[in-house]
A and B are shown apart, each in its own frame.
Chain A
Amino acid sequence: MQRALVPRDAPRTQEETRESARSADRTLGALGAGAAGALALVLIGVAASVVHLAWPSIRENGASFWIGATWDPARGAYGALSFLFGTVVTAAVALLLAVPVGLGVAVFLTDLGPKTMRRPVSALVELLAAVPSVVYGLWAALVLAPLLRDWIEPLLGATGLPIFRGPYLGVGLLCASLVLAIMVLPTIAAVTRDVLGAVPSELREGALALGATPWDVVRFVVVPHARRGVAGAVLLGLGRAVGETMAVAAVVGSRADVSSSLFAPGYTMASVIANEFPTASTELHVSALAEVGVMLFLVTVAFNVAARVLVRSRAR
């Protein structure tokens, strides 16, 4: 490591050495700043080019775009309400399922689980995050959806609740929500684990010394201390759920519809882009999908900014 510190082709005088080092410093500093700046440019480019692509639709459809529920590109009807609806519903149901489990896993990893189990469980949860979205889509479409259709949906349908009405199709909002829950769970669990782990151990020890059980420590010390961070973890999961594309596209049912039942096929903002963008033929259709993309971008950026602020303020 040290050998390289002394330049092999040592210049003649110290002054020259210093000058060449300084100019190299400047050049490399500029290069590094350029690389870092490239990222900022990419981000701005993302925003600008999508807005540019979406402009015809924004001009043509105006506000009715986000109010209308009819999406029929063949007839020139562009109402994106059902995509917004599907995104909100699937993300909400997914979080409802994933948050309790994710928090349970996180608490297991930081406080309640046996120490020997923590490392392997942590690795497995991260593996859960490593499985590609499209593979979850394949599994959900060919395994989970038939399971839902034949067993779970009839059972849920027997409860008679209005959100469990209609024919048992397997694919639909419920199936998409389940896959989303699986996919956001590692995010929530891992971030929460980090946030809870960052709570100073003195606080834990103090509570334990006062006679608290480990569960009391979690309940009265760790979670209250890390509340904002946990909220951030949930928001990060929400951002992920809203943007998740391939697995949802495989099982959401792909119908632009607003239905009160979770059994009904639906659509999300991300999955409609995935399904229709490659085959969109008219300029307005492409542009309308790009406008959906703009909305998706704004929503995910808002969630991510909020989540980063929350996680950072506590974790550091």
Chain B
Amino acid sequence: MSGSLPTEDPLVRMYRELKRASAKDKAQVKWAMVIDQAKCIGCHACAVACASENRLGPGVVYRPVIEQETGTYPNVGRRFLPRPCMQCENPPCVAVCPVTATYKNAQGVTVMDYTRCIGCRYCIAACPYGARCADFGGFYTSRTAESPGQVQGRYAARAYEKQNAPEYGRNWGERGKGSPIGNARKCHFCLHRLAVGQLPSCVTSCVGRATIFGDRNDPASLVSELIGSPRATTLKPELGTRPAVFYLA
């Protein structure tokens, strides 16, 4: 068997490393993500898995996949740029929040306190990556016709929206008028999944294994290995935000 072929699914390795990280003191762990653009096929599975996992309402997206065209005709290329929250070490969104509703947790993830957020959207304007969304309270079923007895009717479809958003390990209740409606929302590396030993949903749903996740404080982790690659880069490094999401160009 060729030595260049992978002998193990990266997902298996990431789960093993996640278990190792979970056993450590929380303050010793720094979560990071590496996205290999050469492997990303632009299937948008991560974006859909994220929306489903976090019960995102209409117009709220944590991880859109941007399609980019490069070069000039006839030497053109096409690549994809999945864009989660960069979990910056020096996040502009945290500094501007007037009510400390957003902050960095011990593992370096920028989190939201939905119960504190006043919905001023200053953090959204401050994020240089457009990685935050305002939840204006839309419903996927608001224009769905009712069809009694049919699976696709409004009331049947509403079952999706009745499910509780699991973010930050708290029961936010059925989507109605309470938070997170009216708040700013963002990717949080699926902290609620990490808490129970699961990788973020965008990582597990990536069919090309283009998204790698792990503890960058663990030198033996796949994510640390890839961050050290000469291909590794970050978005808008000139702003000094020091993202924890790296791209392999």
Partners in one complex: no
- A residues sitting closer than 8 Å to B (CB atoms) are none
- B residues sitting closer than 8 Å to A (CB atoms) are none
